Structures are given as structure tokens and as C-alpha cells.
Amino acid sequence: MQFPILSVIVFTPIIAGILILLIPGERKTEIRVAALAAATFAMLLSVWAYFSYDVSAAGYQFVEKYAWLPQLGISYHVGIDGMSVPLVMLTGIVMFTGVLISWGIDDRPREFFAFLFILATGVFGVFVTLDLFMLFFFYEIAVFPMYLLISIWGWKETREYAAMKLTLYLFIGSMVALIGALAMYFVAGMNSFDMLELERAGFSAAFQKVAFPFVFFGFAVLGGIFPFHNWSPDGHVAAPTAVSMFHAGVLMKLGAFAALRVGIMLLPEGAKFHMPWIILLTLVNVVYGAFIASVQTDFKYVIGFSSVSHMGLVAMGFATLNHQGLLGAGVQMFSHGVMTALFFAVVGMVYDRAHTREIPRLGGFRKVMPLVALAFIVGGLVSMGMPGFSGFIAEFPIFMGVWGRQPWIAIVAAISIVITASYIIRIITKVFFSPMPEEFEGHVGDVTVLDKAALVLLSAILIVIGVYPSIMVPLVESGVNNILRLLGGA
């Protein structure tokens, strides 16, 4: 029997989380080491899955299928294709680096890591599952621990508010999506939640047009689509660093990915009907998000809104429904995940030492933490779409895809590049290079070796993909071809 790599990846975190709960709470070092070991194991497996995926064969690989509740047509069915493989690896990487930079958490680390790992299982599960019911199951597992993580370990000023807002938004979103999904189940009448079978259900165009908005927007809320993006910056800011990394780095991709897999892939006719106006919403995401980010004074809010802008590009790539746009969106999900994890890690490191995130009050951190400055510059260049970094590799095809649909949208969206560049440069010069205020002089030290390891890993990924895109794009392209097949070669 083939090694069940996907099941091992999915259940490693939750099992590790339960085992960690068994360790006595005061033995904090053991807890951290156990967490790191589990995270390393999951990451290595996800990297292994990435590199052993056979691009030339394409399709769903490492498939496992067991009946779960056959009376209702629910099965435990997992498998990954070119779209989900990079996201599984992304989750592994963010989990690993998240544990590394959370080493210093002193308030109940046992419960913190346990909740974080339960969340990770949910995320892995959504990316690998091929069963619609299971997808919802894992989706809720991913959303629920977020509430506790933010409201217990979050920023004292806004954590209750943000946790409540985020959870309500996402629950409502998933309820709306569930309505659409149940409708699909009953209309198909195949007594099956298996998505590969639902793909062949032959839904009528009229049904698809009605059901598509439910499913797409229900999930896209988590992807931060305008006008339902409002929860995301508040949530990012209130969350502790590792949770922000997870949240912006992986969770938002969860929404986008589910919207793609359930919305676009199962209801292609609905997608074709609605996308011409949805692309306008994504344009608002991209440009408005960048503008709002540029006027923030709180370091973390800048990054939060920049995520709204960048995730807008993912949705825009989806909305083109063509080869280049989907390809770019696939790469952008990975690239943005790594970049934003890097950003939130840096913000957390600065905040831990300065105890403020007000940009005008910060300055001179290059001198005490040169590597952090360098990592932020790399992330910043990715964010502004600088060629030679992964952001360019992702955004360029998205724009090409938009040219194939609505040329003027590409032209308007391009404004966001300059706005992003201007606020990123402003932050780099102010936070890292301007003279250091006296209050920090002598009180602020460098980051730990673990922090540095996390930053180096994340930065290296961004550069490698930027310089040599062939390490990822053929993989994503194989996934895109499958989507295009469902769309009827459009």
C-alpha cells in the first residue's frame, strides 16, 4: 500500500496538538520542542509532496478514499493537484516558521500551540479534500480556533471586538456557502458529496447562475473580497504574530481556494455568467486596498490592508477565467502567503521590542536588527511587484489575463503598483533607516536565532521563485489546465 502522505500531513498537527495538551503546562521548553518537532515533520512531508508530485502526469495524486458515511454519500476522499500542492507546502512552511517565531510566548504556550495546530489541521484538510462535506468540516475546524487564539492571546485593545467580528463574518460566509453546497447536493441527486462526481453532475445553466453567488461569495469572504473584507485588517491586527501569519498567509488562501474549487470548478457556467461584474469588485479590492494601506499609521494595519489589495489580485486572476489569469492567481496565492507571513513576522518582532506600532514613532531598527530590515526589504519588493521576486512572477500573468478580458481594468489596476511602492518605501525608510528615537536607544536588541532562521527561509523562497519561476509555474499550470477543461476550454 502506498504511504498515505496526505492523511499523515493532515492529522500530524491535530495529534501533536492533543499530545502537547498532555504535557504539564509549566514545562514550557518541552512544549515548544514538541511543537517544533511536529511542525518540522509536517513541513518536510509537505515539501516532499511538492517535489514528488508528477507534473507530467498532472491530475489528482496521492489519492486516498474511504467511505465515511456512505448512506449520505460522504467519503473521506483526499488528493492534490497543481493548484493545491503549492498551498499545502505553503501551510507547512507557515506553520514551521510560525512556531519558530512564537518561541517567546510565555502565556500558556501549551494551549496556544494546541489551538494553532488544530487550526493547521483544518487548513491542510481544506486544501487536500475532494469531498464537499469534508471541505466544510475542515473549514470550520480552521475558523473556530481563530476565535480563541485572537481573544486570548491577541492585542489587548481590540481583541474581543476583532475576534467576534472575524468569527461572525466567517460563519455567516460559510453558512451562505453551505446553502449553495446543499442545493448542489440535492439538485445533482447523485447522493454524493464527492467533488469529482459533482463535476460531472451536469447542472443546468439556470441553476448554476443562481447557486454560484452563494458559493463563491460565501467562501470569498474569507479571501477578503470587497465589500466583505472589513473583518480582515481588524483580525490581523488583533491577532498574535504567529496567528496573523497563519491568518493572512494561509487562511485567506483557504477562502480563495474554496471559492475556486467549489464555486468555479463545480459551477463553471455560473462563473462565466457572473465573473464580468465580479472582476469590478476585485478591481476595487486592488486599488482601494492599496490606497487605504497607504494612509495607515499603524504598521500592522498597513500590512493588513495590503493583504486586501493583494488578495484582490488573486480574485481578479480567478475572475479572468483564462489561462494566464488563473496561473497568476495560483502563484500569487503562494507568493502572497509567504510574503505576508514574512511581513507579519517582522511587524511582530518590531512590536515586541518597541511596544508600539505607530510608524511615526519608530525608526532606526536597521542598526539593531539588520537581518530583519533586509527581510522586510525583500518582502517589500515582492509586494510592489518588483521583477526578480515572486510577486512579479505572479502579478504579471494576472495582468495579462485581465488584458484578455477587460483591457481598461488592467490599466486602472496598475495604479496600485505605484501606490504600493510608495508606502512600502516610506515604511522602509522610516522604520528601518531613519534615526532611532532616544526612547529605544540601548533598550532594543536583535532578534533570536530562531527568528532569523524563519526570516531567511521565507525570504529565500520569495527570491528563488522570482529568479527561477520554472520551479513552480509548470506545476500550477497543470492545475490550471484542469480548471480550463471544466470551463470548456474558455
Interface with other proteins by CB under 8 A: which residues?
Answer: 323-324, 327, 381, 384, 386-388, 392-393, 396-397, 399-400, 403-404, 407, 410-411, 414-415, 417-418, 421-422, 425-426, 429, 433, 468-470, 473-474, 477
Please state the closest distance from residue 466 (CB atom) to other proteins, in A: 9
Q: How far is the CB of 458 from other proteins (least distance, A)?
A: 19
Neighbours of 358 (CB within 10 A): 10
Using CB atoms within 10 A of its CB, is residue 463 exposed (0-12), middle (13-18) or buried (19+)?
middle
3-state helix, strand, coil in the chain (%, to 5): 75, 5, 20
CB of 237 to other proteins, least distance (A): 26
Q: Provide the minimum distance between the beta carbon of 488 and other proteins in the complex, in angstroms, as a whole number.
A: 20
Nearer to other proteins, 82 or 92 (CB): 82
Decide whether 190 or 411 has the Cβ nearer to other proteins. Answer: 411
User: How far is residue 24's CA from residue 19's CA, in Å, rounded to a whole number?
Assistant: 11
Distance, CA of 227 to CA of 32 (rounded, Å) = 39
Q: How far is the CB of 426 from other proteins (least distance, A)?
A: 8
CB closer to other proteins, 65 vs 405: 405
- Please say which residue, 8 or 414, places its beta carbon nearer to other proteins: 414
CB 41 within 8 A of CB 11: no
Q: How far is the C-alpha of 26 from the C-alpha of 442, rounded, in Å?
A: 32
Q: Tell me how far, at minimum, the Cβ of 276 lies from other proteins, in Å.
A: 15
Q: How far is CA 59 from the centre of its chain?
A: 23
Q: Cα–Cα distance between 199 and 77 in angstroms, integer?
A: 15
Query: Radius of gyration of the chain from Cα atoms?
Result: 21
Contact present, 359 and 298 (Cβ < 8 Å): yes
DSSP state of 470: G
Q: Shortest approach of other proteins to residue 384 CB, angstroms?
A: 8
Pull the grid cell for residue 10: 493532515
Minimum Å distance from CB 331 to other proteins?
10
Return the residue matching grid coordinates 464555486.
263
29 or 470: CB nearest other proteins: 470
Three cell numbers written together for 214 = 452563494
**CB nearer other proteins, residue 66 or residue 468:** 468
Q: Which is nearer to other proteins, 239 or 473 (CB)?
A: 473
- Closer CB to other proteins, 70 or 387, in the complex: 387
Nearer to other proteins, 207 or 403 (CB): 403
* Rounded distance between C-alpha atoms, residue 409 and residue 403, angstroms: 8
CA distance 109 to 226: 35
- Paired with 160 in beta bridges are none
Least distance from other proteins to the Cβ atom of residue 408, Å: 9
Smaller CB distance to other proteins: residue 253 or 366? 366
Helix (H, G, I), strand (E, B) or coil at 87: helix
Instruction: With residue 70 as reference, give the H or E element that holds it.
Output: none
The Cα 429–Cα 298 span in angstroms is 15
Closest approach of other proteins to the CB of residue 407, in Å? 5
Sequence-ordered alpha helix ranges (H) in 189-264? 195-198, 205-220, 231-238, 241-246, 252-258
